Chain A
Amino acid sequence: MEAWNEAYVRAEDYLRAHRIHNRLHSSRLIQKILERAALRHEQNPTIDPTTAVAEETETMMDRWFADVLDERGQAHERIAVDGRLALLLCDGSQKWPYAFLDEDRIPEDFAKAMRAGVIQAGPDLAISSMVPRPIDLGAIPEAAGETLERFEQWPMLRMLFLWLLFAGALGAIFNATR
């Protein structure tokens, strides 16, 4: 019984995650889902009630999305994503609070709104090539660049140079203040 209670809570949570806040509608849906899950559990008692409930919800939703979007025969991954996205874009759960998973009656305007929802992250590509043109830095930076790159190959040389610079600065201060 505890496992079925947990399954009930999971179904309720999942519907609420879809912003189905209408208790009456939610209760009807949960009842339907649980009945179908119970039938499955009878056929296969090894299956966990929570898993059975989740799978039944998924099957119901896939079928319902396929009907609403008129996109039958799609893989679960595709129809589940398309359906939820369409529902999000048309604010279906708020604007048509009783329509969600209603297998008997799909309001015409709701179906139209669901089919109209398209997400487009970018326009069609129009590829261009953008490559740096050669740049002549001039004689001094070129020579300095070559020296720097040579310095970078010999980190010890660089460190020695820095210490010499530091010692030189100390020497200069010492000399200036005497």
Chain B
Amino acid sequence: MRVFLSEQMNAKRLSRRRFLFFSTIFVLTSLATWFMADLLWRGGINGVEVLLLLLFVILFAHIAAGFCTALVGFYVINRGGDSSRISTTLPAGEDWPLASTAIVMPVFNEDVSRVFEGLRVIYRSVQETKKLEHFDFFILSDSNEPNQWIQEEVAWTELCKQVDGFGRIFYRKRRQSINKKAGNVADFLRRWGRRYRYMVVLDADSIMTGRALVQLVAMMEKNPHVGIIQTPPRIVNGETLYSRLQSFANRLYSPLFLAGLNYWQQHDGNYWGHNAIIRIQPFIDHCSLPDLPGSEPFGGRILSHDFVEAALMRRAGWAVWLASDIEGSYEEGPPTLIDSAKRDRRWCQGNMQHAWLLTTKGFRPANRFHFLMGVMGYVSSPLWLLFMLLSTIHVFSEVTSLDPVDPRAQDYTSLMGYDFKVPEAFTLFVFTMLLIFLPKVVSIVVTIGRREEVLRYGGSVRLILSAVLEVFLSALLAPVNMLFNSKFVISILLGQGVSWVTQKRGADNDGTDWREAIITHGGQTAFGLVWGISSFILSPVFFWWLSPVIIGIVFSIPVSIFLGKAEFGRRARTLGIFLTPEETFPPYELKKLQQNLAECYRHLPPFEPLRRDYGLLQAVLDPYVNAMHVALLRQRRTSAEAREWFMQLRRRLLSEGPDKFSTKEKMALLLDADSMIWLHRELWSCPASALAEWWRLAMRQYNVLTAEPNTALYR
């Protein structure tokens, strides 16, 4: 295979590829628009029909873009792979030269055990490659919950002790969390960026193997004009049916899309925010994020920083690549439909902001296309909804018209003067379905063609059964996601927030509870019922056309609960449904992570009355945690007024307990080294009568809890 170096990029060849890709989108959209226009035009066209046609063109072009990516991906895979991949620049069998690299993991109130066990696995995996001396690891915490913060400190110390990682694994907690994740990483770069040539950005749930990390650094060293290399993380470790469904779909269908993306974007790739390597100096020089006009949610600080950083890197002339074929990059997905919607709410706001940047001077067309696709990922939902509601109105006007016309579904297809005895609406429907489902079918066929690969999915029968179920469940979920996203887009445009129901976890702690599902999906169900009934009254034929959408919406509550249960996920796994190669033959790192986490979660959670403020309890009461916490704090000079305020707060904490303290007050105390030293000393020297009952209980219970050596990476 010919090695294709990024600096030897053949502009003509790339233009040809892009011309082919975008022309196919254009041709497919034009063809579908022809059918749709013909369908609407018979008997004249009115305002609603013009609007319908306009929406159809936008929505169909969006679908066609996805289809063409997969189509090109199929072409590439069928040819045995693309010669123009960044990974081909690495010669096999050589001892690749590496450079200083920081592996940074920004965290914000995450499951501490998962974060640090994940880091342990990555650290050990890098150690296995015998290249550890090139890597430093940073936990960049923005956690603003006292419990999380103290647990992170304890877990960091324990991890460093256990893997001898002091001086190589670092922990930094920001006093003020400015500008969220982008600000967190920027703060790291301002403090320590110059010490490293590269940084690998991970999410709290990311796992990367040592080999993948070494490969990434080696690729950067080999290609000095590359600014970012993004790996495609595979979704793993799903337990609920929902997360396993996402994991299966990601694993089965993504190779086609990734190969297609790499085919046309090449060095104009995108950055997805994590599991990517970044050349630090150009990132510092060019990728600091500007503010957008106006204020949040639509303007202000850029929330989805990754796309913008890729565009800024490209604007400065640095290449951005997608290493679509690199193995050993993983992440976890949301466990339930509602969790997924909560994540989408954040992403939606970030992607909507990208609309500002579509016409920014100096950005590459490929980056503009990425921005547009990101915006369309969410804006397409309200457009689909509008399209279907307008269709309902259209049917209503047809039915109530004094001169009713036969339903269009019975009109035959006419193309270029030729008539086909097939209803035109049906032709258009089949054409649309083909674009949506053909990539899935092709992915299955490609996978079945590889015997070893099929076994990793549990065999061809299970693979096909899983794929059929995936298509069915995705069809149920699509309209629900459409309603969620429509709500998010509208709320963002109106400058409103979206409130979520706090989960009331049951004893089994398993997925979405009924209360949460009813409150979250209740409005959707009611909307679906009204829409379905009114459509049926208007025109039963139209109702049946609409039924795939209505069914998903009406049954959103039971579907959400069913998919959110880990029990069903485990049962499906036993039956071989939605199996992925990472489940049947898990890589060592993922297996080890699961074992370690199982060990962590065996620890009993803290005693119930003390649980809410256990972090504060440890930081004040435990001599070691107190010393470690104080050692990690920076000494500050405070004014006389502040000292007086702190003194009142400390006394109140010991005499009243932490129940009446706000999180802000607790954090203030935890951030003040003098207060923490004073509190520890006073707590242990005060007679019991001077202490709140909560502290007396804490002292009695803490000795029970620390009866065994403290291994710390507990929940």
A178 CB, nearest partner CB in chain B, Å: 8
Docked complex Cα distance between A99 and B161 (Å): 20
Q: Known contacts A17-B623, A125-B191: does B294 contact A148 (CB below 8 Å)?
A: yes
Docked complex Cα distance between A48 and B686 (Å): 9
Docked complex Cα distance between A94 and B624 (Å): 13
A-side interface mostly: helix
Docked complex Cα distance between A177 and B362 (Å): 47
Q: Are B628 and A119 in contact (CB-based, < 8 A)?
A: yes
Q: Does B663 contact A (CB under 8 A)?
A: no
Q: Does B290 contact A (CB under 8 A)?
A: yes
Chain A, residue nearest B291 (CB) = A132
> Which of A58, A91, A123, A129: most chain B Cβ within 10 A?
A123
Docked complex Cα distance between A89 and B162 (Å): 10
Q: Are A14 and B195 in contact (CB-based, < 8 A)?
A: no
Docked complex Cα distance between A10 and B688 (Å): 9
**Residues of chain B with a CB closer than 8 A to A129's CB:** 190, 284
Q: Are A50 and B685 in contact (CB-based, < 8 A)?
A: yes
Q: Are B627 and A88 in contact (CB-based, < 8 A)?
A: yes
Docked complex Cα distance between A161 and B360 (Å): 27
Q: Does A133 contact B (CB under 8 A)?
A: yes
Q: Does A171 contact B (CB under 8 A)?
A: no
Docked complex Cα distance between A162 and B491 (Å): 12
Docked complex Cα distance between A81 and B480 (Å): 55
Q: Are B685 and A55 in contact (CB-based, < 8 A)?
A: yes
Q: Are B360 and A127 in contact (CB-based, < 8 A)?
A: no
Q: Are B191 and A149 in contact (CB-based, < 8 A)?
A: no
Q: Does A67 contact B (CB under 8 A)?
A: no
Q: How many residues on the B side are at the interface (Cβ–Cβ under 8 A)?
A: 71
Q: Does B365 contact A (CB under 8 A)?
A: no
| CB 8 Å contact bits of A131-165 with B (1 = contact, 0 = none) | 11111111111101110110010000000001000
Docked complex Cα distance between A144 and B358 (Å): 13
Q: Does A69 contact B (CB under 8 A)?
A: no
**Residues of chain A with a CB closer than 8 A to B167's CB:** 120, 123
Q: Does A101 contact B (CB under 8 A)?
A: no
Q: Does B32 contact A (CB under 8 A)?
A: no
Q: Known contacts A126-B193, A133-B290, A142-B293: does B396 contact A51 (CB below 8 Å)?
A: no
Q: Does A104 contact B (CB under 8 A)?
A: no
Docked complex Cα distance between A81 and B625 (Å): 10
Q: Does A1 contact B (CB under 8 A)?
A: no
Q: Are A21 and B707 in contact (CB-based, < 8 A)?
A: yes
Q: Does A24 contact B (CB under 8 A)?
A: no
**Residues of chain B with a CB closer than 8 A to A84's CB:** 623-624, 626-627
Q: Does B186 contact A (CB under 8 A)?
A: yes
Q: Known contacts A127-B190, A136-B362: does B627 contact A85 (CB below 8 Å)?
A: yes
Within 8 A of B (CB), among A111-132: 118-132
B186 CB, nearest partner CB in chain A, Å: 6
Q: Does B192 contact A (CB under 8 A)?
A: yes
The contact of B172 among A18, A121, A146, by CB within 8 Å, is A121
| CB 8 Å contact bits of A77-103 with B (1 = contact, 0 = none) | 100111111011101001000000000
Docked complex Cα distance between A32 and B603 (Å): 36
Q: Does B699 contact A (CB under 8 A)?
A: yes
Q: Known contacts A125-B191, A138-B359, A177-B396: does B161 contact A148 (CB below 8 Å)?
A: no
Q: Does B136 contact A (CB under 8 A)?
A: yes
**Residues of chain A with a CB closer than 8 A to B622's CB:** 17
Q: Does A72 contact B (CB under 8 A)?
A: no
Within 8 A of A (CB), among B136-183: 136, 138, 157, 161, 166-167, 170-172
Q: Known contacts A58-B681, A94-B709: does B190 contact A128 (CB below 8 Å)?
A: yes
The contact of B157 among A19, A21, A119, A140, by CB within 8 Å, is A119
Q: Does B80 contact A (CB under 8 A)?
A: no
**Residues of chain A with a CB closer than 8 A to B290's CB:** 132-135
A10 CB, nearest partner CB in chain B, Å: 7
**Residues of chain A with a CB closer than 8 A to B171's CB:** 121-122
Docked complex Cα distance between A55 and B628 (Å): 21
> Which of A133, A145, A146: most chain B Cβ within 10 A?
A133
Chain A, residue nearest B356 (CB) = A141
Q: Are A130 and B284 in contact (CB-based, < 8 A)?
A: yes
A147 CB, nearest partner CB in chain B, Å: 9
**Residues of chain B with a CB closer than 8 A to A173's CB:** 393
Q: Are A50 and B623 in contact (CB-based, < 8 A)?
A: no
Chain B, residue nearest A50 (CB) = B687
**Residues of chain A with a CB closer than 8 A to B706's CB:** 16-17, 19
Q: Are B703 and A17 in contact (CB-based, < 8 A)?
A: yes
Q: Are A137 and B172 in contact (CB-based, < 8 A)?
A: no
Docked complex Cα distance between A140 and B355 (Å): 11
The contact of B189 among A57, A82, A85, A130, by CB within 8 Å, is A130
**Residues of chain A with a CB closer than 8 A to B355's CB:** 141
Docked complex Cα distance between A58 and B683 (Å): 13
| CB 8 Å contact bits of A20-51 with B (1 = contact, 0 = none) | 01000000000000000000000000001011
Q: Are A135 and B628 in contact (CB-based, < 8 A)?
A: no
**Residues of chain B with a CB closer than 8 A to A18's CB:** 623-624
Docked complex Cα distance between A152 and B628 (Å): 47
B296 CB, nearest partner CB in chain A, Å: 11
The contact of B709 among A19, A51, A140, by CB within 8 Å, is A19
Q: Are A137 and B360 in contact (CB-based, < 8 A)?
A: yes
Docked complex Cα distance between A140 and B405 (Å): 43
Q: Are B360 and A138 in contact (CB-based, < 8 A)?
A: yes
**Residues of chain A with a CB closer than 8 A to B393's CB:** 173, 176-177
The contact of A87 among B172, B191, B293, B624, by CB within 8 Å, is B624
Docked complex Cα distance between A91 and B189 (Å): 34
Q: Does A6 contact B (CB under 8 A)?
A: yes
Chain A, residue nearest B189 (CB) = A130
Q: Does A71 contact B (CB under 8 A)?
A: no
**Residues of chain B with a CB closer than 8 A to A141's CB:** 293, 355-360
Docked complex Cα distance between A74 and B75 (Å): 73
**Residues of chain A with a CB closer than 8 A to B390's CB:** 176
**Residues of chain B with a CB closer than 8 A to A87's CB:** 624
Q: Known contacts A87-B624, A88-B627, A141-B356: does B170 contact A123 (CB below 8 Å)?
A: yes
> Which of A3, A131, A135, A144: most chain B Cβ within 10 A?
A135
Q: Are A145 and B293 in contact (CB-based, < 8 A)?
A: yes
Chain A, residue nearest B392 (CB) = A177
**Residues of chain B with a CB closer than 8 A to A77's CB:** 677
Q: Does B204 contact A (CB under 8 A)?
A: no
The contact of A132 among B289, B293, B630, B677, by CB within 8 Å, is B289
Docked complex Cα distance between A100 and B638 (Å): 36
Docked complex Cα distance between A173 and B393 (Å): 8
| CB 8 Å contact bits of B500-538 with A (1 = contact, 0 = none) | 000000000000000000000000000000000000000
B665 CB, nearest partner CB in chain A, Å: 23
B664 CB, nearest partner CB in chain A, Å: 24
Docked complex Cα distance between A80 and B676 (Å): 12
Q: Does B621 contact A (CB under 8 A)?
A: yes
Q: Are B186 and A16 in contact (CB-based, < 8 A)?
A: no
Q: Are A120 and B166 in contact (CB-based, < 8 A)?
A: yes
**Residues of chain A with a CB closer than 8 A to B47's CB:** 176
Docked complex Cα distance between A88 and B158 (Å): 9
A-B contact list, 22 entries, CB within 8 Å: A6-B687, A10-B688, A13-B699, A13-B702, A16-B706, A17-B623, A17-B702, A81-B677, A84-B623, A85-B631, A88-B624, A119-B632, A120-B166, A121-B171, A127-B190, A128-B284, A130-B186, A130-B193, A133-B286, A148-B298, A162-B494, A173-B393
